[in-house]
Structure 1
């Protein structure tokens, strides 16, 4: 399932890039694919994204890189001479990428809530 998800994430990424750049995308670099994986996982799985990826044994960007290079080795994904596993090293932290978007904003402290009411009169 993880490999099917990765293929779908690549399709999602190329469609997103085509919308932005307006032309057919010939190649997606590692960091671009990782950003597409992040966006697609959040879209598909919402707050469960980290749990789903963990269930598949995908715990960091390097794991996605290994999957990509397995697909390259199988002839399913293409590769340029510039592509390497280094492209997938510590691009983002999974907890920051998949948990933080769903955490509530911290309460603002030290500020008084203004309701637009006049201040009370001193007695």
Structure 2
């Protein structure tokens, strides 16, 4: 999914209707969807929770300690933002949803402070004082 692009008319609609998010945020969501489906091992419906967790894992894999900064630069500050982007892509016909899927499925899946700072996999090694 690297190098993905959205057609200019679609991107223009997204820019006009949802100016809070960078164009790259939409492409990241599509890459994260691909990443999450591959990790699931089969093509199937991905829930909001699964996609949010896939976004988290892909961001950490790609951007390491800068993951939160990169996402915030794109306008993504919470898992709710991930849902807003997904449903903007649904609205434009890029993605489809199943009955019962809604933006609130992404609400509070995880806290950015905890995932990208407090519980970051390498933070323990960084924060430990030197042993004499």
Q: TM-score range by the shorter chain?
A: 0.7 to 0.9
Partner of 2:47: 29
User: Which residues of structure 2 form unaligned runs of 5+?
Assistant: 1-23
1:59 is matched with which residue: 68, 77, 86? 77
2: distance between equivalents of 1:74 and 1:33?
Answer: 19
Structure exhibiting the larger radius of gyration computed from Cα positions: 1
Partner of 1:118: none
Structure 1 position 91, deviation (Å): 0.9
Partner of 1:45: 63
2:32 is matched with which residue: 1, 4, 9? 9
CA displacement 1:31-86 (0-9 Å, x = unmatched): 00001001000000000000001111110011110000000001111100020111
- Structure ranking higher in helix proportion: 2
Partner of 1:95: 113
Q: In angstroms, what is the RMSD of aligned CA positions?
A: 1.8
Q: Tell me the SS of whatever aligns to 1:75.
A: coil
For normalisation by structure 2, the TM-score amounts to 0.73
